[in-house]
A and B are shown apart, each in its own frame.
Chain A
Amino acid sequence: MNIINLTRDHDEDFVHRVEEESGQKVSLCYQCGNCTAGCPYTFAYDIPVSQIMRLVQMGQKKTVLSSKSIWLCATCESCTTRCPNNIDVACIMDVLRHMARREGLAAVPQVKTFWDSFLDSVRAHGRVFEMGLLINYVTKTGRFWTDMDLGPKILPKGKLALKPHDIQGKEHVARIFERFDRESNS
């Protein structure tokens, strides 16, 4: 097990960044565990959310941003709703994902790929094109078996459109993404 040297390995700048980007004060957390108790995803996490909060307090940037948990949080808001100290924990999990992306980290790559495929679809068509998204995801991950079983259930019902619903203002939507990319890189 890793031994943490608290004088040397406490990244205070990381703590400040999390607080600034989330608008939350992490020192409010007194580790009651209510977030972990209510989190439906605890079983799938490598680090329970209350410990993510603890590790943020301790300035453990690398451990936190390399965790799988931050990619498995569904923002279901049970932590935020029930936190006795009114901390928006789900927002902190969101911000940690943003930071992990900037560091080039994604401990559950297929989740990031799925989300990226989704946004690519929105960028291209203005609305999400479900079939295209699925194909894009499968191509990128090589997980060709994904939801193969659902095809016979859904295709005959005509619910999964085979061509995108492009909107007239799709260039406008694309420009939102372009400007965002420029702002992020500047």
Chain B
Amino acid sequence: MSEAIAYYPGCSGLGTSKEYDTSTRAVCAALGLSLVDIPDWSCCGSTPAHTKDHTLSAALSARNLQLVSDMGLKAAATPCPSCLTNLRTANHRIEGDAFKAKVNKLLDDPYGGDVNAISVLQALVETVGLDTIASAVRTPLKGLKVACYYGCIMNRPPELMAFDDCENPMAMDNILTALGATVVPFPLKVECCGASYGIPRPDVVAKLSGKLLEAAAGLDADMIAVACPLCQMNLDLRQGQINRAMGTSYRTPVPYFTQLMGVALNIPDAEIGFGQLNVDPRPVLSKALSGAD
């Protein structure tokens, strides 16, 4: 059992990306990665906060980092790249004393800057390791063709995120390969899906996410594995909107990579939560897996 890591699910983990949260918890537990909930965590502020003010944004993140510090832990893992960016940006900016003072002026409990934030993806490949993952596989994903889509900010900018390659990240590809799946080289791995413009500018999301669906289909991928709740929502929940806007008819499942890990590790269906997705991956999945025999 490795050293415990604080777990920051992010607001969407309680709602629109529930299945990402449950599958993450189940997979980490199965692999011996101990995630400890942060008591009474609050929102990181996400994009709206940093577009309003950098000090406010850092303070909203720093409150949570300080809670982790109070737990006596040195690292927090989050499944959500948007939370991750905010937590890491706060840490980075707080290295400047003047900025740190401004942030702490907004907080009840000042933050010392001593908690590292990483993604669950990073914890899985670095703390757990691909070998452990491979040896834990009970149902190999043989026959499944997956395009891994990381989203724009999991690895960028590289100086800040300090994980994997910023133009051609491989962490998720390597995990899916370890699970027995066939990973197609997806050239738009780090292209933006339209982010949080789904509500104010659905036309923008239709165009950008439409491009991603088109590229994955062009590679004959059975599904697109993702690691970001916002990407997942745009590609999956809004797939109908995209089809209407772009005149297409995609029915591409867009599961979280942790859900696919769940299948391979024989995690119970309830925790995998495929039923929570808009396009249900199960028919495609069972077809691909049975075809492999």
Contacts and interface: CB of A to CB of B under 8 A. Distances in A.
Is any CB of A less than 8 Å from a CB of B in the complex? yes
Contact of A147 (B41, B43, B199): B199
Interface in B171-210: 190-192, 194-204, 207-208
Q: Which 8 A-B pairs have the closest CB atoms?
A: A115-B48, A76-B152, A74-B195, A76-B192, A77-B156, A118-B48, A110-B200, A128-B11
A65 to B, nearest CB: 14
Interface stretch (B52-60, B123-131, B138-146, B219-227): B52-60
B109 to A, nearest CB: 8
Q: Is the interface of A mostly helix, strand, loop or mixed?
A: helix
A40 B275 CA distance: 31
B98 to A, nearest CB: 11
Contact of A180 (B15, B41, B53, B278): B53
Nearest to B47: A75
Q: Is the interface of B mostly helix, strand, loop or mixed?
A: helix
Interface stretch (A4-12, A46-54, A150-158): A150-158
Contacts of A116: 48
B189 to A, nearest CB: 12
Contacts of A40: 152, 191-192, 194, 208
B132 interface: no
Interface stretch (B237-245, B248-256, B260-268): B237-245
B47 A74 contact: yes
Contacts, number: 168
Given A118-B46, A173-B63, A75 B201 contact: no
B45 A168 contact: no
Nearest to A21: B54
A76 B195 contact: yes
Interface string A80-111: 11000000101000100110010000001011
A108 B200 contact: yes
B18 interface: yes
Contact of B40 (A130, A150, A169): A169
B42 A126 contact: yes
